[in-house]
Amino acid sequence: MNIALLGYGKMGKTIEDIAGDRGHKIVLKVDDDIENHDLGASEIDVAIDFCVPKAAFKNITTCFKHKIPVVSGTTGWLEEYEKAREICQKEDSAFIYASNFSLGVNVFFELNKKLAGMMQGLEDYSVNIEEIHHVQKLDSPSGTAITLAQQILEENSKLKGWQLDDADEDEIPIHAKREENVPGTHTVSYESNIDKIEIVHTAKSRHGFALGAVVAAEYLKDKTGIFTMKDVLSDLFNN
């Protein structure tokens, strides 16, 4: 594939290495205003977006208007997500957004939903989420932690929302920590007076996130429509 990178920071450089190892070519690197680049000149098959939040909507929708499918892992811009979906559908393009492209994290998401369904009738247990990331991460809580909370809310009608740190009884507390040189750890805990149940995902490097994004791009090539990482995983498991 010919891939455009929207954002060329540490994640973009890791994606570049993995894409090359898998036989793909990076034909465009956008690390400034996307309108400074001629998107029609490079025969782009798919764009992978890991830019800063304030640039995400413009980058993504500009690609849609050029019929370029987009895989986006940028968090912190989701107030405009529905509008981006509408533009994608109007332009007959393709889109996968995920708060986390790690294949392991997406398996973790499926475990989280299953566990939340099992726990929703056990009223003695309270749930909380902890996420730990590097100090350079701009948004808090992480998009992954928000996804975990939203999944739990879908399974448990007695919980009404989530809050960062201080939460009411009918809300999920999310505790966000920032430490040096930490790729990311997410923990979902259910605790009662007699025991504690936890599921944990710990990233060892950016490699897992970057690999998942490239695999998602391979899935999205030549498609139209809105997809999720669940679609990507289903395709992988069925082949």
Show which residues are catalytic.
133, 137
In angstroms, rounded to a whole number, what is the distance separating the alpha carbons of residues 227 and 1? Answer: 19
The amino acid occupying position 50 is: F
Beta-bridge partners for 197: 190
Beta strands in 50-160 (DSSP E): 70-72, 94-97, 126-134
- Order the strands of the 161-164 sheet from edge to edge: 161-164, 171-179, 126-134, 185-191, 196-202
Beta-bridge partners for 130: 175, 187
Backbone angles phi, psi at 76, to 5 degrees: 90, 10
Provide the 8-state DSSP code for 41: G
